[in-house]
Chain A
Amino acid sequence: MVETVLFWVLAVLSIATALAVITNRNPMYSVLLLVVNFFCIGGLYLTLNAEFIAVIQIIVYAGAIMVLFLFVVMLLNLGSEKSLEPAFDAKKGLAFLLGLAFLAEMLVAMKDFSAIGSAKETFEYGKVEKIGLQLMTQYVYPFEMISVILLVALIGALMIAKKYN
């Protein structure tokens, strides 16, 4: 009962904040609403007993990445909307296509999805021990690949930002 109520409250709230993020004209508000959105999604994870994912969601996204976003927004001082327009124009079509591709991907992934049942059955999956074990055994290859990709991204960012004398 409580689970269902919580789910609907969080689901509606997360969709509402997600919409508000893209419709809001103030970038600062957008970022903060995105933080609220991440909290809602974290709450949804909690109702599924995935405590670890929920906490990580908040630490990594709300705590670290969004803070960096806020930092950038404050630095850029995007006060006027006009400064935003040309930057977005060229990318609009691409963003639309990417969004469409992502939606299709989601639909394909959800086609074979069957409801796992109540949260009690998924209780074991959310534990740190389980996730750690899975990451280090079954999924060790993708896990290591992601770390390499992140490293490449880091080095790439460094190379772009570096000044050559």
Chain B
Amino acid sequence: MLFNLNALITLELLLPITLTFVFIAIYALLGVYAERKIAAFIQDRVGPDEVGYKGTLQTFADILKLLQKEIIVPDSADKILFWLAPILIFASVFAGFAVLPFMHSEYYVNINLALLWVMTIVSIDVIGIIMAGWASNNKYSLYGSMRAVSQMIAYEIPLGFAILGVAVIYGTLNINQIITMQSIEGYTWGLWNTKNYGGFFLWSIFQHPHLLLIFLIFFTAGIAECNRAPFDIPEAESELIAGFHIEYSGFAFATIMLAEYANMLIISLLSVIMFFGGWNSPLPNLGNFFLYHWTNGGLFWSSFWLLTKSFLLIFIMMWIRWSWPRFRADQLLQFSWKVLLPASLTLVIFSVLWKLWLHP
């Protein structure tokens, strides 16, 4: 049996779910604040400055405002789908966290198909976007969701191939095993024995050089899956006003935003797990300073490293968002089908060759 009913109703299952939700909510609030401050810094502005110390309470004020706002349902909207869409969008993204660890502990579902499961989540998310766009009965939102579909379909394939490349190298789809492998293997790029140094030498991108390229593909496709700039054509503000969620207000809108930030966290957690050693410490042993052994293991260090690395990647996502202009719809699709797809396919084949012959 996969699970038993008693576990469902006991705290053992409910507690992690609640904690994860609270964590994601707080992370999203701080993430929005960080995004605004980073955007302001990049554009040489001040950013939120009034509420709280240096504007730290700005997003809390915003969420309070959103909570008490009326959710306006357009007259000609399809009422059922309009209400279901944000729920589906958030629920599907939230389900992805079931298999994603925040620390080296037992409180996540350690299944063998974890990576595939996350791919599933990403692909279900788009149905919610279509529902939102179609049910709103607004031509801008319909355009937005149609763009979302073509984009999602295009970028899911390189994303899947990137995951496949890693799965081929480690021979597993299990997150726990992938991270463990990144603390055992010790031949940097198949050339130097770096097992005693530990730290970032053991990351998969330094163990297997082509994984660095696979990471770039994964991260690019991941940003596209999150509908973030420069791949944000489904919600392009200057063309479609807000795309698929144009008709959403109040808490329904907040849910959609929460899902977007949660999606970013999924992509960066996955990147860290597959390419940057997961919860292992990045610090290498130097002479008598066994930094790697000192800062490794345990609940604190594992969650510290995993989340720090993820937040760094999220910072890079924000940095990219405010540095590049938006792709045009046709450029975006061409980039996926003509550049990312052949590249990822080639890298998967190289992965197989590397695994079979090249790596010691």
Listed in ascending order, the chain A residues whose CB lies under 8 Å from chain B are 1-3, 28, 32, 35, 46-47, 49, 51-52, 55-56, 58-59, 62-64, 66-68, 70-71, 74-75, 119, 127-128
Task: From the candidates B113, B117, B146, B153, name the one contacting A128 in the complex (CB within 8 A).
Answer: B113
Contacts A49-B2, A51-B112 given: A67-B120 contact, CB under 8 Å? no
Contacts A2-B4, A75-B146 given: A128-B156 contact, CB under 8 Å? no
Residue of B nearest to A59 (CB): B120
Known: A46-B2, A74-B134, A128-B112. 14 other contacts (CB 8 A): A2-B4, A28-B78, A28-B134, A32-B127, A35-B127, A51-B113, A52-B116, A55-B117, A58-B123, A59-B116, A59-B120, A62-B127, A63-B156, A75-B146
CA distance A105 to B191 in the complex (A): 58
Residue of A nearest to B8 (CB): A2
Q: Are the C-beta atoms of B130 and A67 separated by less than 8 Å?
A: yes
> Is B119 on the interface with A (CB-CB < 8 A)?
yes
Within 8 A of A (CB), among B148-194: 149-150, 152-153, 156, 173
B348: min CB distance to chain A, Å = 15
A38: min CB distance to chain B, Å = 10
Contacts A62-B123, A70-B127, A74-B130 given: A32-B81 contact, CB under 8 Å? yes
Number of CB contacts from chain A to chain B under 8 A: 74
> Is B28 on the interface with A (CB-CB < 8 A)?
no
Residue of B nearest to A73 (CB): B134
Contacts A51-B112, A55-B116, A62-B124 given: A2-B1 contact, CB under 8 Å? yes
Contact size range, B: 20 to 34
CA distance A28 to B131 in the complex (A): 9
> Is B126 on the interface with A (CB-CB < 8 A)?
yes
CA distance A59 to B4 in the complex (A): 26
Sample 5 A-B pairs with CB under 8 A, ordered by A number.
A1-B5, A28-B134, A58-B120, A62-B123, A71-B146
Q: Which residues of B contact A128 (CB under 8 A)?
A: 112-113, 173
Contacts A3-B1, A46-B2, A52-B113 given: A68-B124 contact, CB under 8 Å? no
Q: Which residues of B contact A74 (CB under 8 A)?
A: 130, 134, 142, 145-146
Listed in ascending order, the chain B residues whose CB lies under 8 Å from chain A are 1-5, 78, 81, 111-113, 116-117, 119-120, 123-124, 126-127, 130-131, 134, 142, 145-146, 149-150, 152-153, 156, 173
Q: Are the C-beta atoms of A70 and B149 separated by less than 8 Å?
A: yes
CA distance A58 to B119 in the complex (A): 10
Q: Are the C-beta atoms of B134 and A51 separated by less than 8 Å?
A: no
Residue of B nearest to A49 (CB): B2
CA distance A32 to B153 in the complex (A): 17
CA distance A28 to B82 in the complex (A): 13
B240: min CB distance to chain A, Å = 15
Q: Which residues of B contact A71 (CB under 8 A)?
A: 130, 146, 149-150
Which 6 residue pairs across A and B have the least CB separation, nearest first? A63-B123, A71-B149, A55-B116, A58-B120, A2-B5, A70-B130
Residue of A nearest to B119 (CB): A59
Q: Are the C-beta atoms of A63 and B120 separated by less than 8 Å?
A: yes
Q: Which residues of B contact A35 (CB under 8 A)?
A: 127
B282: min CB distance to chain A, Å = 30
Q: Which of B116, B117, B142, B173 has the most CB of A within 10 A?
A: B116
A24: min CB distance to chain B, Å = 12
CA distance A147 to B346 in the complex (A): 19
Q: Which residues of A contact B156 (CB under 8 A)?
A: 63-64
Q: Which residues of A contact B1 (CB under 8 A)?
A: 2-3, 119
B149: min CB distance to chain A, Å = 5
B139: min CB distance to chain A, Å = 11
Q: Are the C-beta atoms of B131 and A32 separated by less than 8 Å?
A: yes
CA distance A28 to B126 in the complex (A): 15
